[in-house]
Amino acid sequence: MSDLLIAVTMGLLAGGAVLAVFLAFALRPRRVVRAQAETVLPGIQVRLDRAKLGVEASTYITRSLAYGAGFGALMWLATGAWLTFPAGLVGGFAFVWARLEEERNERLNRYHKGLASAADTVVNSWRVRPSMNRALEAVATYGQGEVGKDGYCQ
């Protein structure tokens, strides 16, 4: 009986030790949760800001409802079923979101192309006269679009 008691006790202690080591590596330490500045904004505006779409929530909702009402009315007239109108409203929100993402991507592509051109301008200006100030002035003067207007190049 005492051998069984010793074996069970040793098994429980060994299992507890293995569990403690496993939990020490598996569980992350608890962190203090602090309020984020962006969580103060309303929910839709936070999503728009995280996606970097560059539009206010009221503008997004207005555009979405306008397109959605048009889509809903068109679907209602096409099918004759008024239950398709809410689907058109939802489609308006999806359409405007996709359109804003496309505009953001086009804007970023133009900016990245301008950065490549600015790097080329810096290299060429540096070859003519090795001065970083003159090279950045050349980028500010001859830079394309947003890169020329960017505050880092002035």
- Domain count for the chain: 2
Model confidence pLDDT, tens digit, residues 46-96: 888 888 898 998 899 999 999 999 999 999 999 998 889 999 999 999 999
Q: Is 36 part of any domain?
A: no
Q: How far apart are CA 39 and CA 45, in angstroms?
A: 10
Domain encompassing residue 22: 1-31
Q: Is 145 part of any domain?
A: yes
Q: How far apart are CA 146 and CA 139, in angstroms?
A: 11
Q: Provide the whole-model pTM.
A: 0.60
Q: What is the pLDDT of residue 110?
A: 86
Please provide the size of the chain in residues: 154
Same domain, 45 and 21: no
